Chain A
Amino acid sequence: MVTESIDGILPRETIEPASAEDVAATLASAAQRRVSVVIRGGGTKMGWGRTPASVGVLLSTKRLNALVAHEHADLTATVQAGARLDDVNRALARHGQWLPIESAFEESTIGGAIATNDSGPLRHRYGTPRDLLIGIRLALADGRLIKAGGNVVKNVAGYDIGKLISGSHGSLAAIVSATFKLLPLPGASATLMAKFQRTDALVDALAAIIGSQLEASAIEVRTGASEEKSGGAVFGRPYRLLLKFESTPGALDAHLQKARALLGDASCEVVSSQSESDFWREHTRAPWISSGMIVKLAWLPASLDTVLAHVDDLRASANDVELIGRAAIGSGLLRVDANSRIQRNIVERLRSRTDVFRHVVVLRADAQLKQQLDVWGPLGGAGALGSAVKHALDPVGILNAGRGPV
């Protein structure tokens, strides 16, 4: 998973600063020399973004990996950008708390999570990293270190620069450290896995679940996974709906029973303990360990039936098609393994259906495909406004040059 080149382009130098001041100095020096800087956390998403013309400095946050403070009684923690999510959560668990940010990759870091605002199935309940972020410290392209937000969960003093940085993909500033609100670890959890042979049955079951007053932590839809491939799947069948519940030990069973009752005659299975965590790890990693293009899609949740029909249609031109997504939010990953002409064609088709898909971003694609399309897609007014902010914060244009969304 670890890559030192970016789309095959080798950085001229790699720098691993050991302090916030060194990060700032690295940026200032690069700006002065007018060389581009790509920031690397765990190196798990280096292929995301456009292919850059060249890379001057690869700035690794590897050595900035400390858990600076865990104020457990205040439910907050401050962490350096290069700290791995898994390591952070292992430390927080000592006080029965966690930062509910997931990643498909073991090496993922705090900085990378914020820069990409990437999330997993638990987004249904806990939101994306930007929803948990309460303070941030940044190194700017001109070498200054600044902060925004603070250490308290409720705070509206000044601009929320942390939100601006969320999803900026390293194009505006380098994240040095961040403060998050935390949550208590749930007392108990279990997952109900349901299989449907028809999309309309899944859509009806989903409507019943989200129309009820059950409070799931994750509601996932999944079609065309590897299991079905070997068994000779017809279209995306079976279509799966996965419901994760977290609650108190005494209340968990009641949730599972209510949910089961709403799922009709679907075939269901409940997993808990280690098999549950193993299942979710596999689920989150599934698209990334198989080959092909990966596209992030956003749709209006009530149009799930249209989305599933669309995905099934894709199977006419590509054999290996998989969709994994947040059913109640309308957000998911589509993986398509086919030649680059077909892949490009699929992206163009998805982008032309603006009535169904609000955002279509290509996360993983081979170099050839990236030459043929803009991975970010049309950004509209946000593109112009984002560029104005980029120009203000990084006037020389060194940060993630030619690669980021702005």
Chain B
Amino acid sequence: MIDDQLIGELRHRCGNDAVLTEPLELLTYECDGLPHLRQTPPLVVLPSSAEQVQDVVRLCHRHDVPFVARGHGSGLSGGAMPIPGGVVIGLARLNRVLDVDIPNRRVTVEPGVTNLEITRQVAPYGFYYAPDPSSQQVCSIGGNVAENSGGAHCLKYGFTVHHVLGVEVVLSNGDMMHLDSAIADAPGPDLVGLLIGSEGTLGIVTKVTVRILRRAEAVQTLLAAYDNIPSAGAAVSEIIAAGIIPAAVEIMDGVSLIAVEAAVHPNFPPAEAILIVELDGPVAEVREQFAQVEAICHRAGATTVEVAKTEEHRARIWKGRKGAFASMGRVTPNYYVQDGVVPRTKLPEVLDRIRKLEARCGLRIGNVFHAGDGNLHPLICYDEKIAGQADLAAAVGGEILQYCIEAGGSLTGEHGIGADKAEYMPKMFSDDDLDVMLTVRRAFDPKGLCNPGKVFPTPRLCGEVPGPYRAHPIEKAGLGERF
């Protein structure tokens, strides 16, 4: 339990300015990038070193106080939402780049370093760090490790887990250890592979070593405009069938296009769907495949195909795509973004169901998606000032996730389960599947102090009436039903 003694010890270890208890200071930490899930933390600690993180965790362990690690708070599933009665351990002060090792193609950083900072450090040598979530300017590498972040280019280059060579981790009892990943040939079970994407429920990472890649010799980007999404989707299918793996394949729909045009002015041609395709690699190969991609885009009925002629042009296209979420404020007071995945071939079917759901529920649903890997980002527009709309938006999101599961997909492609989607986990996993994950978790964290209440559905309380979950507003409104 958090008491004066614990607060005193934390101040002693980390310094007075590192322990926040004032309501106004605590406000900042109420939520992450998913603002409709809020919880005021009783206490926030801002350690400045791995050793201080270890001290804080040891104290929490001794006092049986749960804790949640927080990077820069840009997560989109409430993974860093405070836990009632728990401590928020903010890692923003652990922001040192510890080693830039060009000959060995690796960089070691503290968890508070931003994703883009790694690329900034190595760009002068012709290298970059591959995972590129849209939030890469602000998101922390520690958060990327917790969420196994991807990005637009993960179709070809993979996720965080494909790029981490090793971590230093503080376990729930305060033990600190270095772990190499399977990429670094560590013998035995790939514990780092398990830690990555565990959403802060297995430990707190205090150092991360990532591999860096040589910049590709050539990058070519095009934007194709279509008057409907299925045509854009057909182009993607044909590209994949031709044996081409683009660096990125993105589709944006009409609603999201209106938003980004208003907010970041990428000057996209008018369209109901914009397809962005990027190829990278050696010049000769890119040249040959890009000509094929251009032809495919035309054949699929593009009204315009715009090839980026300059780096500025390419940057403008990506600004339009990466600015999509942040731009939604131009078309709606609030939005709720979902992150379900479907096998790519099921995209047309699932998008059609979403279109019908939109018509039934009365909320606009924009869509921006990683078309190459079937990762949807439905943007459900709502107004929190209108009673019931926030709940309705959440329920619509749940309905869309149901479609994804029925199509053989997943609840989340890159945003994580967090607090947001924990209740949906039984739709994807059996009780036994979840029990095994929890068994593994207990091996790491017997007391259950690391970010409890996230990822796994909360067990029913004693005395609670067994049966289906409480009815969603969408059901009450007669817009959907339970499966």
Contacts and interface: CB of A to CB of B under 8 A. Distances in A.
Contact of A251 (B196, B214, B216, B282): B282
Nearest to A135: B410
B244 interface: yes
B116 interface: no
Contacts of B41: none
A377 B188 CA distance: 11
Given A160-B193, A255-B282, A376 B187 contact: yes
B240 interface: yes
Interface string B345-370: 10000000000000000000000001
A151 B288 contact: no
Contacts of A14: none
Given A167-B188, A358-B185, A379-B187, A157 B194 contact: no
B413 interface: yes
B243 interface: yes
A190 to B, nearest CB: 14
Nearest to A96: B243
B395 interface: no
B215 A406 contact: no
Interface stretch (B18-26, B49-57, B298-306, B435-443): B435-443
Question: Closest 4 interchain pairs by CB?
Answer: A163-B193, A381-B177, A184-B243, A251-B284
B345 A74 contact: yes
Contact of B186 (A171, A247, A359): A359
Given A127-B162, A152-B343, A158-B434, A389 B440 contact: yes
B27 interface: no
A382 B411 CA distance: 30
A298 B185 contact: yes
Interface string A331-364: 1000000000000000000000000001101000
Given A146-B433, A210-B214, A247-B282, A73 B241 contact: yes
A154 B154 contact: yes
B121 interface: no
Contacts of A405: 187-189
A195 to B, nearest CB: 24
Contacts of A255: 282, 284-285
14 contacts: A156-B416, A157-B410, A158-B425, A158-B437, A166-B190, A250-B284, A251-B287, A254-B282, A298-B185, A359-B184, A359-B185, A382-B177, A385-B171, A388-B444
B182 interface: yes
Nearest to B150: A154
B47 to A, nearest CB: 21
Contacts, number: 259
B198 A159 contact: yes
A148 interface: yes
A224 B428 CA distance: 52
A160 B285 contact: no
Interface string A284-301: 000000000000101011
Nearest to A255: B282
B108 interface: no
A405 B101 CA distance: 30
B105 interface: yes
Nearest to B408: A151
B178 A381 contact: yes
A381 B179 contact: yes
Contact of B185 (A213, A296, A302): A296
B266 interface: no
